[in-house]
Amino acid sequence: MQKASHDITLLILSVASPLQIGVYEEGVLIDERKSTLKTSEILLPLITELLETYHVKQIVYTRGPGSYMAIKLTYIMLKTIEIVEGIRCLGCSAFALNGGQPVKAVGNLYFIKEKETIITKKFEEPVSTSFMLPHSIHDLEIDEESTPEYMLPAV
């Protein structure tokens, strides 16, 4: 299969289920993949498929807060791709893809952002939050930093 000729950015949202990957050409969403399988089972096959289909220039992922294991696995895979393939790996906040809503931590604890600080807060009732890939990443705040932003709550 011939790769699309334009430079592509992948946006990986792996901090919550379903795992979502957006394919962006010139900053506009042109394709997407979703899966409810575990990140450890499906992320690499999805990325491999997309790398074979598109000329990927960079990959942006949600580096936190959220599922510690998913963040760690995603980061390791992307850093390996960056080293082996030379594809730049960048990060963004999970809050940028859920409208700033609370992000599940553990039990009834959720990560919330108060101004520029991320803290955990206990909610008696479960908080329903949905993550969405944006139609455009032109306004997405992308961090040059790609290391995970581990926000482990006190248990």
4-96 topology per CATH:
Nucleotidyltransferase; domain 5 (3.30.420)
Are the beta carbons of 110 and 16 closer than 8 angstroms? no
Return the structure tokens found at 20: 């979502």
Tell me the per-residue pLDDT of 99-121, one tens digit each, with 9 for 90 and over.
999 999 888 999 998 888 888 89
Predicted confidence band of residue 151 (pLDDT cuts 50, 70, 90): low
**Interval 18-65: pLDDT, tens:** 999 999 999 999 999 999 999 999 999 999 999 999 999 999 999 999
Q: Which residues contact 128 (CB under 8 A, 6 or more apart)?
A: none
pTM of the model: 0.91
3-state secondary structure of 93: coil
117-144 pLDDT per residue, tens: 888 899 999 898 899 999 999 999 998 8
Q: Domain residues of the chain, as ranges?
A: 4-96
Taking CA atoms, 86 is separated from 81, 118, 137, in Å, by 7, 32, 22
